Amino acid sequence: MQIFFRLKKQPEHVVPDLGNITLSLLERDAVTPFTLKQLNSLPENIKRRVFRNLIPTGLLTRFNIDPITWLGSQKESLVFLDTREEKLFISARTSPSPDDEFFTLELADNMLNGIDLNLLLLNDPASARFNTDKDDQGNSTMFGTLNRNLEEEMRAKQAGLAPGQVRNSLSASKLILDQVDTFLSTLGQRAYFLEPLTYASAWVFERRGFAYVRGHKLMDDIHREFQPGSVLHQALDGSTAFRQPDQWNSVRGRAWAIHDGILDVLNTNWDKLRMVKQIGKNAGVNTFPNSVY
């Protein structure tokens, strides 16, 4: 599953700097939580050693990337690390071209000195690409939230993709999120947060152990109103390619209808959902029982 998150229009204010990581700070105890900003103040080679733990070695070797040096078979750099202030951005490609990115992860400090998962992309570089992320003029659609490329979205839907996807997934979200759990436990963090961009994303994260800080009632309302005879089910009237009558009974079908604005009939929209994952725990949330993707 390729996963996107709702983009923040304005950055959150991050709490005051807690100071650089020092040997005495490390010796003090093993449970004091560190922020990304503190880690980012470390020398470059130390950061590479620390952040190396965020990418499963098997995922890199699958694409012939050395998990230690981050170099490909031609000795070219294929893993890229960007650490600025309170953010961490790491990505991996099958070639130096940005078009061949198969893994992207962005973490950021939040205002409570906790961690937000802002972005996770897992693309199969060997699969067909659908330009749902660009309009006819080549401008960014912001994953379909700013504007939409309907022709490419229809092609993507027919190919079995969910809203926001440009390629088939690597089916590695559990592997990556387990790695994130381990990495954040090393920092002394006990939880992390995210804002799912689509209904399909929220469904995936439920199965990866996340609970809702905001939005559980909306998810329950959506499930209830997609049942036969209810409001959302009736709104699947075939008026667009994304509102076909059979879409109520699958995660992907519901996601496309919601992406198409069907929640208007409930006088609401897909917004302000926030989820949390406690390190090492599964919340057991399931807002679509007996679901099929």
Report pLDDT for 98: 87
Q: Is residue 290 part of a domain?
A: no
Query: For the chain, what percent of residues have pLDDT higher than 70?
Result: 90
Query: For the chain, what percent of residues have pLDDT higher than 90?
Result: 77
Q: How many domains does the chain have?
A: 1
Q: Mark residue 42 as left, alpha or beta (left: phi above 0; alpha: psi -120 to 50; beta: remaining).
A: beta
Indicate the DSSP class of residue 41.
T
Q: Is residue 152 part of a domain?
A: yes
CATH number of 188's domain: 3.40.630.30
Q: Is residue 227 part of a domain?
A: no
**Whole-structure pTM value:** 0.89
Average pLDDT over residues 147-169: 94
Q: Residue 109: pLDDT above 90?
A: yes
Report pLDDT for 1: 46
Q: Is residue 42 part of a domain?
A: yes
Residues ≥6 apart with Cβ < 8 Å to 288: 203, 219, 223, 251, 254
Q: Is residue 2 part of a domain?
A: no
Report pLDDT for 27: 59
**One-letter amino acid for residue 254 of the chain:** R
Give the residue with greater pLDDT, 287 vs 100: 287
Q: Is residue 229 part of a domain?
A: no
Q: Give the domain extent around 169.
A: 23-213+272-278
User: Where does the pLDDT of residue 293 fall: very low under 50, low under 70, confident under 90, or very high at 90 and above?
Assistant: very high
Cβ neighbours, 10 Å, residue 70:
19
Q: Which residue has the tokens 């590695």?
A: 172
